[in-house]
Structure 1
């Protein structure tokens, strides 16, 4: 009888839990998910590029909110400034891996929190005007190329691809300007070509009839890891559980984006200054699901080879403890 009585008491407890949601046994609310983290709000610096579409999708689908995190995306004008704002106006920021690794080499203590984007066909390219005869990367022995930063991913991958085509790297002339000014530079003939990423490539194609000279994700830069998210090392040390939760939700968001190319393209109309017809033509690359030290080391090693870094950078030292290949 005692056993039967105990069973009846347990049944009553379970029924009460189910009816009142007052018991943690079945409770999967966002409050409990985030109850153990150091903080529940994050400010993330972003630029209007395809790379950050998963974050936009995550906000729309309330993935962060369901996990108990309040995320604010803070628009930035350039990566260098956003990295400098870590620990003041920003908690994390998006940037190209090249920018992040260069900042580390210059003394900024960072920890990588996720990969954002990996190059796919025509997701980054050298683009020229409709009237240009520059239709092959080997055609001009000393081209003038517009880049948004002479020490960022554009110059790095342009040198690698043109070198493969037989163009001497020291003869390439780079002209620095924002992506938004490159269309005018192409039509005026100020530059022979411009390194662009999406959605700027498709916008230039539709607006000025721009043509792709060459995909810059080919040969030595095929499937090139383009960008990611980072926090300061100080913030990471103080908020490891919060950032672990961020990485978990980011993985969900990256998976959602990978499974829904149309959703990625549609999201661009809300933040990247493109209309629906343009968004539908944007080339979408790859959204990695985790931090892969081997993949990321490839970027650092190329930067070392191209003298963007003064020595070899060990990327594993920039990853959260326990990070393995993903």
Structure 2
């Protein structure tokens, strides 16, 4: 597990401020993933924005968003980045009682795409009927976005038969070997396989009903939010400042090579989504409504109950 520590207090174990105006818990563990979406978190580290808010932050690198749920529940993470489909699904099933404390990332043109091999006979989404599509995780955000695209084209994918699982770094090999007829990828992988094997964009998943779609955010347990409101507020303030900086593409491009395997040259050409500075229940409700329509939720979930509004 990779760790990065940002110190915001004197040497030794930082003390909280249970009865004062500072954070109740100064030292917090934050789960992250080395992807484009977490650029503001890295900017907050680099610019000392957590230290400015009196926080001593340790970043713990996760293999994927699903890993965040048990670690938040078990207390080894205080805050974690993760995609909303995983968070809302776990909350709805009673696996964990979550609160969203900061928005993270929303899609933009070319950030989430369906791609096919250069010489594939598939020319449109409708041609994917009866075909196999590779996704990083079944019954999650990739399959949900693909289902919305299918519905737009008058077809439907079978969650069990249409999709196969492969990690994003293996998607190039999947297309080259013909293991699947199409792949759902996110940046930087879309750009990479387009360059390396001439993979062709079949459908941009950030358009129509999923344009500017909320993808991921930062969550805590309800118990943590209740016990540490000022700690949460300090985290929110640091992230708001970082996301304001991330609105300048140059800041994102500059930080990406420092925590991912994306080179500076590649970073300059990537499609970059948005980093919302505020939590908007109406925006996030789009996710749960789409999950319900796609069969990923049995009942409607009111996002307003899961949001900790920023100060």
* Structure-2-length-normalised TM-score: 0.88
SS at match of 1:248: helix
- Corresponding residue for 1:82? 68
Q: Do 1:141 and 1:168's aligned partners in 2 also have CA atoms closer than 8 Å?
A: yes
Matched length: 290
Provide the C-alpha distance between the structure 2 equivalents of 1:67 and 1:52, rounded to a whole number of angstroms.
19
Residues 262-301 of structure 1: pairs in structure 2 closer than 5 A: 262-301=250-289
For the aligned residue pairs, the C-alpha RMSD in angstroms reads 1.9
Residues 109-258 of structure 1: pairs in structure 2 closer than 5 A: 109-170=97-158, 173-258=162-247
Provide the C-alpha distance between the structure 2 equivalents of 1:211 and 1:61, rounded to a whole number of angstroms.
38
Q: Do 2:29 and 2:79's aligned partners in 1 also have CA atoms closer than 8 Å?
A: yes
Larger deviation, residues 49-58 vs 139-148: 139-148
Q: 1:64 aligns with which of 29, 34, 50?
A: 50
Structure 1 regions of 5+ residues with no counterpart? Answer: 1-30
Provide the C-alpha distance between the structure 2 equivalents of 1:231 and 1:272, rounded to a whole number of angstroms.
24
- Corresponding residue for 2:27? 41
Q: Do 2:53 and 2:237's aligned partners in 1 also have CA atoms closer than 8 Å?
A: no
Deviation for aligned residue 1:35: 5.5
SS at match of 2:240: helix
Provide the C-alpha distance between the structure 2 equivalents of 1:82 and 1:139, rounded to a whole number of angstroms.
36
Q: 2:90 aligns with which of 81, 85, 103?
A: 103
Provide the C-alpha distance between the structure 2 equivalents of 1:308 and 1:262, rounded to a whole number of angstroms.
37
Provide the C-alpha distance between the structure 2 equivalents of 1:67 and 1:168, rounded to a whole number of angstroms.
48
Deviation for aligned residue 1:36: 2.1
Larger deviation, residues 42-51 vs 128-137: 128-137
Deviation for aligned residue 1:238: 1.1
Provide the C-alpha distance between the structure 2 equivalents of 1:111 and 1:42, rounded to a whole number of angstroms.
16
- Corresponding residue for 1:15? none
* Structure-1-length-normalised TM-score: 0.85
Provide the C-alpha distance between the structure 2 equivalents of 1:133 and 1:272, rounded to a whole number of angstroms.
34
Deviation for aligned residue 1:132: 2.1
Provide the C-alpha distance between the structure 2 equivalents of 1:235 and 1:65, rounded to a whole number of angstroms.
20
Deviation for aligned residue 1:105: 1.4
Deviation for aligned residue 1:203: 2.1
Provide the C-alpha distance between the structure 1 equivalents of 2:196 and 2:223, rounded to a whole number of angstroms.
44
SS at match of 1:138: helix
Q: Which has the larger radius of gyration?
A: 1
Q: Do 2:240 and 2:278's aligned partners in 1 also have CA atoms closer than 8 Å?
A: yes
Q: Do 1:112 and 1:229's aligned partners in 2 also have CA atoms closer than 8 Å?
A: yes
SS at match of 2:29: strand
Structure 1 residues 181 and 293 mapped into 2: Cα distance closer, same or farther (>3 Å)? same
Structure 1 residues 209 and 271 mapped into 2: Cα distance closer, same or farther (>3 Å)? farther
Q: Do 2:98 and 2:306's aligned partners in 1 also have CA atoms closer than 8 Å?
A: yes
Q: Do 1:79 and 1:99's aligned partners in 2 also have CA atoms closer than 8 Å?
A: yes
SS at match of 1:241: helix
